């Protein structure tokens, strides 16, 4: 009797575990197909890949950083990027610097204003096989972008197929 009770308990626990995993995967699939929903820890300490400036409605200055796997791949010119590579684009407002311009004696200086968003590309060729092996993330004030925004990442980046969907080149 004790043995049967034990087996039932084990089966119940196992069942709950299986259900939890299935529910979790299912919710994850519905919510975020190919989307990165957690900010990779420590990204602000990563090394520099390059810098960029977008005019128009974006009006941004960006620092593009890479984790160790990404930096190594960049420096070795390795394509496609290996699993584990993560690229972070830190976007700031492109704002004139009155204090710098005063010293220069002319209006020419733009600096990083408030942080606008942080975007990530996470390489995992199995997990993100439907989107070229990359998971895409966009965070504003620490919160992930909604699906309407996120579904635009892959088709745009997919136009850079020759460079494994990555726009940013390494700055020496």
Site for its own copies in 104-163 (CB under 8 A): 106-112, 115, 156, 159-160
Rounded CA-CA distance 60/114 in Å is 10
Binding mask 65-104 for its own copies (x = CB under 8 A): x------------------------x-x-x--x-xx--x-
Nearer to its own copies, 45 or 76 (CB): 45
Which of 36, 62, 85, 86 binds its own copies (CB under 8 A)? It is: 62
**Selection from 124, 129, 119 nearest residue 167 by Cα:** 119
Is residue 94 a contact partner of residue 110, using CB atoms and an 8 Å limit? Answer: yes
Q: According to CB under 8 A, which one of 28, 29, 54, 146 is a site residue for its own copies?
A: 54
**Closest distance to its own copies from the beta carbon of 6 (Å):** 55
Using rule CB under 8 A, residue 37 touches its own copies: no
3-state DSSP assignment of residue 27: helix
Backbone CA torsion sign across 103, 107, 112, 115 = positive
Residue 134: exposed, middle, or buried by beta-carbon count in 10 A (0-12, 13-18, 19+)?
A: buried
Q: Any contact of residue 44 with its own copies (CB under 8 A)?
A: yes
Q: What are phi and psi of 110, to 5 degrees?
A: -125, 140
Of the pair 87, 90, the CB lying nearest its own copies is at: 90
Cα gap 16→29, rounded to integer Å? 20
Residues that bind its own copies (CB under 8 A): 44-48, 50-56, 58, 61-63, 65, 90, 92, 94, 97, 99-100, 103, 106-112, 115, 156, 159-160, 167-169, 171-172
């Amino acid at each position: 009797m004790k043995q049967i009770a034990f087996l039932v308990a084990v089966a119940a626990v196992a069942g709950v575990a299986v259900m939890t995993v299935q529910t979790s995967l299912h919710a994850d699939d519905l919510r975020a197909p190919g989307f990165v929903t957690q900010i990779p820890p420590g990204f602000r300490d990563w090394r520099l890949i390059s810098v960029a400036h977008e005019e128009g409605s974006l009006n941004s200055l960006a620092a593009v950083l890479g984790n160790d796997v990404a930096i190594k791949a960049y420096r070795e010119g390795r394509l496609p990027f290996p699993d584990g590579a993560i690229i972070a684009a830190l976007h700031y407002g492109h704002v004139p610097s009155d204090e710098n311009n005063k010293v220069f004696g002319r209006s020419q200086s733009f600096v990083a204003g408030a942080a606008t968003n942080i975007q990530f590309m996470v390489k995992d060729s199995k997990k993100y096989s439907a989107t070229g092996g990359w998971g895409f993330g966009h965070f504003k004030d620490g919160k992930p972008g909604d699906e309407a925004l996120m579904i635009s990442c892959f088709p745009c980046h997919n136009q850079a197929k020759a460079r494994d969907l990555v726009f940013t080149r390494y700055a020496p």
